[in-house]
Structure 1
Amino acid sequence: MAALASRVELGFTEEAPAWRLRSDQFPSKVYAPLPGRADAFHRGLFLFCCREPPCCAGLRVFRNQLPRKNDFYSYEPPSENLPPETGESVCLQLKSGAHLCRVCGCLGPKTCSRCHKAHYCGKVHQALDWRSGHKQACSQPDHLDHAIPDHNFLFPEFEIVIETEDEIIPEVVDKEDAAEIVGSMGEALEEELDSMAKHESREDKIFQKFKAQIACEPEQILRYGRGLAPIWISGENIPQEKDIPDCPCGAKRIFEFQVMPQLLNYLKADRLGTSVDWGILAVFTCAESCSLGTGYTEEFVWKQDVADTP
């Protein structure tokens, strides 16, 4: 079985220059290699979400893994210094020579017929880029690398910086703990706490536990802990084992990471009416991290919303 986590790692957003977010720099966007696995020296998890109504969901997650020696990335680690030739280049090219789309970063076999420098995955993104500024930049090909298009249908892009969660986590005070804390504070107060505890629902307890768990680091947008357990934000819609489908290879899927509601603050997706929203997104991946061909393997994501509580 692939290596499992012993402690939870927390992810926080951090702004970074465009060149640091290119794939050849291996930015931390759930980049999760497995120690001791030669076939997973490079391993990434990619979560996709539709931001447009009426969908505002369409959640899908994919896993990709490669050995250190491959046709796409250099064997040696990338340089930590600003590339001297172009700086903020958006003309992306893999080691294999394949170009990437200026808009979405997918393979870009199509090129602009005028400048032959801008690459696209297809006509749709080429048209979007043309309207978003390439029409002007195309006549000045020497400046094309520095013209970063503003495609507002994409989410803002950040790097994820990682910190290990402290071992001491605030705990929810339950009825017994509360009575012990009261001590000699009086029988009337103890009776009041007892009455409150009787009316406290399971939903309240789970939500309070969630708030206590993240209280020390409220800005966390991701929690990574392969083989551990997610923290649920609600008592409703918690999946059972039967709800998590096995990997096509036959292995069970285990929890790997969860996306927190705080990420919504950075995505700038809010709008009147329907909008992207979630309580948490829990991602489950193949326990064996199997190698199914050389492409991408779809994994499983569970969306839990925030239940309405008093």
Structure 2
Amino acid sequence: MGSPVELGFVEQAAPWRLRSAQFPSKVGGRPAWLGESGLPGPAELRCGRCGRPCAFLLQLYAPLPARPDAFHRGLFLFCCRQPACYRPGAQGPLRVFRSQLPRENDTYSYDPPPDAPPPEGQTRVSLQLQCGAHLCRVCGCLGPKVCSKCHRAHYCSKEHQTVDWKSGHKLSCAQSAQLDAVIPDHKFLFPEYEIVIEPEEMETPGDGQTDEGTQKDLKEYEALEEAAGSTSEGFESLDEEVLEAMAKHETQEDKIFQKFKNRIAAEPEQILRYCRGREGPIWISGENIPQMKEIPHCSCGAQRIFEFQVMPQLLTHLKVDSLGESIDWGTLVVYTCAENCNLANGYMEEFIWKQDITTDST
């Protein structure tokens, strides 16, 4: 049997293929919202560290065929654009939401979308949903605020209204009848790509690193550290047998990182690994791996299970490098409701964990 993991890769695509009607998986640009009701509001899309609006990072179309209420299903990931918010251990700059719809719904056709571009003139970005809700001109998220001068430009926040004003709205708001015909580049959105999904080829036995194996190795190492710390003279007073065991575990961090590299070696350009509830994530480090108690249950009471992880390779496509601090992660791991509940009848917030690359692994 092959691996149950599916891999995601970025590719350039025609803009129309990345619109909501095509049910895309994609990176960057504005979110191609799935459900139109219950969109996360500005308060839900603020960074938990600096309080600024988050930017759309990626979305994954991940239907559950066995669930009629999740015939269409999407996961939407947002992140802060401030590098300082990504310091090691910080979990606040990331948010993830889940949306799902039955096949028969008020927004999309019952039949699959046509595999052909729409008529000319229908390809431009729309900042108004079919339900009438308006989207922010800067980020494409829900825009409850409106320009007090023209009453036509909508924003998610005062910050983005200011950005748009400085980017040209100051001159155009009293003149243009079609404000969204040409939207300026606000330098806020990430570059846009399609995510293409392919199955992972069968791995060589021993190359992978499961959660269970990693946790076992870490527990053994922590027990040795505790033994060293419990003596009055620390490591110097340990007997020869324990010292040898400690030496054997000195390179545990290198081993975990090497297993991570071995697993992705065949497809080093992968930016995403999907495997809902079948296989755990592959960790890049032995540090900062969440315990089960650190993964909160869904608001419905069900446990959350691993669904997908975002790989560090994605960073090379986001153009976020700078001379100082940069947005950074080792891997981002998304956990979703095991029951795939729909209590909110809209967008449900799920849980995301950021693991950093330790000094020893770089």
TM-score of Structure 1 vs Structure 2, range by shorter chain: 0.7 to 0.9
Instruction: Structure 2: state its 5+ residue gaps.
Output: 26-58, 87-91, 209-246
Post-superposition CA distance 1:168-216 (Å, at most 9, x none): 347449xxxxxxxxxxxxxxxxxxxxxxx95762211111111010011
Asked if 2 retains the 8 angstrom alpha-carbon contact of 1:137 and 1:143, the reply is: no
1:75 CA drift (Å): 3.4
Distance 1:55 1:13, change over 3 A: same
C-alpha distance in structure 1 between counterparts of 2:22 and 2:170, whole Å? 29
SS at match of 2:301: coil
Aligned to 2:67: 37
SS at match of 2:354: strand
> Which runs of structure 2 are paired with 1:58-97 in the superposition (5 Å)?
58-97=93-132
Aligned to 1:231: 282
Post-superposition CA distance 1:13-42 (Å, at most 9, x none): 112233322223211131111112111122
TM-score by length of 2: 0.69
Farther-moved stretch of structure 1 (198-207 vs 266-275): 198-207
1:19 is aligned to 2:19 = no
Match of 1:151 among 186, 191, 211: 186
Distance 1:73 1:126, change over 3 A: farther
Aligned to 1:284: 335
TM-score by length of 1: 0.80
Amino acid at match of 2:354: K
Post-superposition CA distance 1:222-248 (Å, at most 9, x none): 000001210011111222222211112
C-alpha distance in structure 2 between counterparts of 1:125 and 1:81, whole Å? 34
Amino acid at match of 1:7: P
Amino acid at match of 1:213: R
Aligned to 1:241: 292
C-alpha distance in structure 2 between counterparts of 1:266 and 1:287, whole Å? 31
Asked if 1 retains the 8 angstrom alpha-carbon contact of 2:295 and 2:351, the reply is: yes
Farther-moved stretch of structure 1 (13-22 vs 276-285): 13-22
Asked if 1 retains the 8 angstrom alpha-carbon contact of 2:8 and 2:196, the reply is: yes
Aligned length: 283
Aligned to 2:263: 213
Farther-moved stretch of structure 1 (56-65 vs 254-263): 56-65
SS at match of 2:317: helix
1:163 CA drift (Å): 0.6
Amino acid at match of 1:128: V
Aligned to 2:53: none
Instruction: Structure 1: state its 5+ residue gaps.
Output: 174-196
Aligned to 1:188: none
C-alpha distance in structure 2 between counterparts of 1:81 and 1:137, whole Å? 34
> Which runs of structure 2 are paired with 1:182-197 in the superposition (5 Å)?
none
1:82 CA drift (Å): 2.2
Distance 1:24 1:102, change over 3 A: farther
C-alpha distance in structure 1 between counterparts of 2:149 and 2:318, whole Å? 34
Aligned to 2:199: 164
Distance 1:278 1:149, change over 3 A: same
Identical pairs, percent: 68
C-alpha distance in structure 1 between counterparts of 2:323 and 2:70, whole Å? 43
Amino acid at match of 2:303: K
Asked if 2 retains the 8 angstrom alpha-carbon contact of 1:9 and 1:223, the reply is: yes
